[in-house]
């Protein structure tokens, strides 16, 4: 049974449809679980691990049998593949899509002088191009009063070294999301960014040495990393009661980007 009775009727998402990219693990997966708990149907994209995605779907189906969950596999690196993501979602859910959450991202931690053209292009594809065309196709396809959420990074507010490629390719998202929030006002669609601090997922743990992880803990509240569970409630709020918020980037990092 969905657990959304704490929400006023106009804020409920029961029976709505959410697309989540990278939606079967880590931040995307936990967001999917929360939206399923509130009764939203899910169109969950994954890129690489079919077995993991199928197991995840099965687990959710078991827990929330009233929710319809569809999986979609694909690399999303161009406009065409994002068009296809939305058209497949609409073919599975003919009433249309209400919530669109883009989780895709890649980090390479290196000085600028060591980043190859190929590495730059890879960062640019995942953090910049996909973010743009995800929002474009959301704008073309979302139902009236839809919500777009893009996942940014708290590094957008940091003055630091070694993340130039990551920060620089995530930064345009702020302008895409803000512009979309204005352009989509007539359809009542909101567009926001949620920007986590260093978050304890494989994304961080596979790209950072232990020493860096330990350092991140010392510069945030409670001497710990950002947890996925710190971020999911913010996404929940934006797609339910928080629909007066648009064009914003919400930094959620336990103070990570502030000087000590
Ligand atoms: N973890 C952190 O410290 C942290 C902090 C701030 C912001 N973020 C941002 O939070 C978001 C989610 O990160 P996460 O920590 O939850 O890690 P994650 O699960 O690894 O999320 C990244 C997702 O992007 C997908 N992806 C990469 N390239 C793709 C492509 N070409 N086409 C389609 N999908 C692609 C990955 O799929 P595959 O794995 O299947 O390739 C993965 O599902 C990312 O945007 C990241 O930049 C993370």
Beta strands in the chain (DSSP E): 17-20, 41-46, 69-73, 97-102, 142-151, 190-196, 249-252
Residue span of the structural domain in which 65 resides? 13-201+228-251
Distance of CA 34 to the CA centre of its chain: 13
Residue 216 lies in a domain: no
Non-local (6+) Cβ contacts of 158 within 8 A are 167, 256, 257
Question: What pLDDT, in 10s, does the model give residues 46-86?
Answer: 999 999 999 999 999 999 999 999 999 999 999 999 999 99
62 C-alpha to center of ligand 1: Å? 26
DSSP state letters, 156-208: GG---SS-HHHHHHHTHHHHHHHHHHHHTGGGT-EEEEEEE-SBSSHHHHTTS
Q: Is residue 260 part of a domain?
A: no
The verdict on the CB of residue 129 being under 6 Å from ligand 1 is no
Determine, yes or no, domain membership for 98.
Answer: yes
Q: Establish whether residue 201 lines the binding site of ligand 1, counting it when its CB lies within 6 angstroms of any ligand atom.
A: yes
CATH number, domain containing residue 240 = 3.40.50.720
Q: How far is the CA of 173 from the centre of ligand 1 (A)?
A: 15
- Would residue 189 count as lying in a domain? yes
Task: Work out the average pLDDT over 13-33.
Answer: 98
DSSP annotation of 8 reads -
Atom number of ligand 1 nearest to Cα 125: 31
Q: Does residue 29 line the site of ligand 1, with CB under 6 A?
A: no
Residue-wise pLDDT tens digits, 112-138: 999 999 999 999 999 999 999 999 999
Please answer whether residues 12 and 3 qualify as being in contact, where contact means their C-beta atoms are separated by less than 8 angstroms.
Answer: no
Classify residue 218: in a domain, yes or no: no
Domain assignment present for 40: yes
214 part of a folded domain: no
For residue 220, is it within any domain? no
- What tokens does 114 get? 């060591």
Question: pLDDT (tens digit, 9 = 90+) per residue, 227-250?
Answer: 999 999 999 999 999 999 999 999
> What is the domain count for the chain?
1
Q: How far apart are CA 56 and CA 103, in angstroms?
A: 17
Q: How sure is the predictor about 257, in pLDDT bands with cuts at 50, 70 and 90?
A: confident
- Whole-structure pTM value: 0.98
The one-character DSSP state at 241 is T
- Confirm if 27 and 199 have CB atoms less than 8 A apart: yes
């Amino acid at each position: 049974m969905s657990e959304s009775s704490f929400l006023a009727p106009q804020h409920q998402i029961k029976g709505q449809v959410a697309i989540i990219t990278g939606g079967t693990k880590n931040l995307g997966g936990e967001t999917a679980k929360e939206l399923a708990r509130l009764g939203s149907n899910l169109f969950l994209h994954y890129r690489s691990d079919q077995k993991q995605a199928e197991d995840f779907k099965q687990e959710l189906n078991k827990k929330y049998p009233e929710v319809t969950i569809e999986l979609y596999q694909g690399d999303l690196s161009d406009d065409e593949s994002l068009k296809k993501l939305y058209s497949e979602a609409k073919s599975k859910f003919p009433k249309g899509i209400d919530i669109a959450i883009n989780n895709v991202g890649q980090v390479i931690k290196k000085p600028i002088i060591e980043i190859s053209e190929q590495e730059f292009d890879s960062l640019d594809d995942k953090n910049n191009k996909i973010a743009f065309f995800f929002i474009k196709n959301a704008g073309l396809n979302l139902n009236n009063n839809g919500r777009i959420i893009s996942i940014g990074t708290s590094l957008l507010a940091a003055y630091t070294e070694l993340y130039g490629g990551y920060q620089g390719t995530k930064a345009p998202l702020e302008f895409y999301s803000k512009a979309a929030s204005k352009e989509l006002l007539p359809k009542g669609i909101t567009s926001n960014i949620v920007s986590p601090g260093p978050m304890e997922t494989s994304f961080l743990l596979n790209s950072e040495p232990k020493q860096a992880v330990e350092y991140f803990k010392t510069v945030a509240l409670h001497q710990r990393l950002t947890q996925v569970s710190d971020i999911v409630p913010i996404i929940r709020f934006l797609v339910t009661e928080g629909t007066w918020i648009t064009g914003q980037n919400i930094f959620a990092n336990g103070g990570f980007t502030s000087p000590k």
